[in-house]
């Protein structure tokens, strides 16, 4: 164990003025779920990448996206509870839904469920911390389902530890999942949406987005950064018609049908409704940040 921890530390090999930095680490497995034949959707209108030519066409594009059946949603980081309910909510509205996870095959049951209900849903393998993987994801989703109108970043990685007890590899890995991946996904989405003059990018935070609690260093640093990203990006792209919002979930989120009496949990279906509501806000009353918790929750008591 000590040897492996040592190998994961960054090392430097110098040749004159050039230095090669490297470290050992476990390869992140990404399942592309190739055995599932993706459903291809042909748009009834012009290419989704054709930018509007005037303020009038921008307004027309905005009005047309009120019909959810013309929209595509992409969720990056789909897991039981919050991620699953986002998928169900978006599919129920009529949106085409793309689900991204490192292991796309574990989403087969959810895809089957939503497809059986008439939804147009595909699952894709993606490592959100790898910009080439994200670029490939956006290209494939656009080709198969259309350019996303809504992108939700829902990845969260957490390894408990104190400042003095946390090693650099653990700190870096949590930061990559909680912050770097959000930057890569949001940047790619913004670059696609700005020429179109429409779209929503929603980044999912937690209590640790605002409060640095003991033993929560790895989560707090990344989530603080994700919140900063949302604030900066909102100021940069709101004028282009792109709604960027940050949501703080100050609660444990229910991820199964098991309910413990007296234990406070947020209902993911209601969180999904709220996120969809953010996407549907009129341009004259956009929200930049919302915090969610159950009515009987003590404020700022979770991670």
The whole-angstrom separation of Cα 180 and Cα 187 is: 10
Q: What are phi and psi of 77, to 5 degrees?
A: 100, 70
Mean predicted confidence (pLDDT) in 186-201: 98
Q: How confident is the model at residue 7 (pLDDT cuts 50, 70, 90)?
A: low
> What is residue 296's predicted lDDT score, i.e. its pLDDT?
85
> What is residue 47's predicted lDDT score, i.e. its pLDDT?
39
Task: Judge whether 4 and 11 are in contact, CB under 8 Å.
Answer: no
The C-alpha angle with vertex 221 and arms to 10 and 281, in degrees rounded to 5, equals 130
pLDDT surpassing 60 at residue 54 = no
Mean predicted confidence (pLDDT) in 27-43: 56
Task: Judge whether 175 and 271 are in contact, CB under 8 Å.
Answer: no
| Closest among 267, 257, 272 to 296, alpha carbons compared | 267
> What is residue 22's predicted lDDT score, i.e. its pLDDT?
60
> What is residue 71's predicted lDDT score, i.e. its pLDDT?
97
pLDDT surpassing 60 at residue 23 = yes
Bridge partners of residue 99, in order along the sequence = 75, 123
Express each pLDDT in 111-159 by its tens digit: 999 999 999 999 999 999 999 999 999 999 999 999 999 999 999 887 7
Percent of the chain with pLDDT over 90: 58
**pLDDT, the chain, mean:** 84
pLDDT surpassing 70 at residue 15 = no
pLDDT surpassing 80 at residue 93 = yes
The C-alpha angle with vertex 297 and arms to 295 and 301, in degrees rounded to 5, equals 155
Provide the 3-class DSSP secondary structure of residue 119: coil
Task: Judge whether 79 and 101 are in contact, CB under 8 Å.
Answer: yes
Helices (H), the chain: 2-7, 55-64, 82-92, 108-116, 131-145, 168-175, 181-193, 217-237, 268-279
């Amino acid at each position: 164990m000590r040897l492996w921890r040592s190998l994961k530390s960054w090392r430097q090999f110098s040749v004159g003025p050039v230095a090669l930095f490297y470290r050992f680490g476990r390869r992140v497995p990404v399942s592309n779920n190739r055995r599932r034949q993706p459903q291809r959707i042909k748009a009834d209108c012009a290419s989704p990448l054709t930018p509007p030519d005037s303020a009038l066409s921008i307004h027309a594009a905005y009005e047309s996206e009120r019909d959810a059946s013309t929209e595509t949603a992409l969720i990056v980081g789909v897991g039981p509870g919050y991620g699953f309910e986002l998928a169900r909510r978006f599919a129920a509205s009529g949106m085409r839904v793309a689900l991204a996870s490192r292991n796309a095959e574990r989403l087969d049951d959810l895809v089957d469920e939503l497809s059986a209900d008439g939804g147009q849903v595909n699952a894709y393998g993606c490592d959100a911390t790898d910009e080439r993987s994200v670029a490939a994801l956006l290209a494939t989703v656009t080709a198969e389902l259309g350019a996303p109108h809504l992108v939700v970043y829902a990845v969260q990685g957490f390894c408990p530890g104190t400042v003095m007890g946390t090693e650099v590899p653990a700190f870096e890995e949590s930061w990559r999942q909680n912050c770097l991946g959000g930057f890569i996904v949001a940047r790619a989405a913004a670059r696609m949406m700005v020429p179109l003059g429409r779209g929503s990018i929603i980044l999912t935070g937690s209590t640790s987005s605002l409060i640095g609690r003991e033993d929560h260093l790895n989560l707090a640093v990344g989530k603080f950064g994700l919140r900063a990203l949302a604030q900066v990006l909102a100021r940069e792209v709101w004028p282009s018609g792109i709604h960027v919002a940050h949501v703080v979930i100050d609660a444990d989120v229910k991820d199964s049908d098991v309910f413990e009496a007296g234990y406070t949990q947020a209902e993911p279906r209601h969180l999904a409704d709220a996120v969809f509501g953010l996407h549907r806000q009129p341009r004259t009353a956009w929200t930049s940040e919302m915090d969610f918790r159950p009515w009987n929750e003590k404020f700022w008591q979770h991670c």
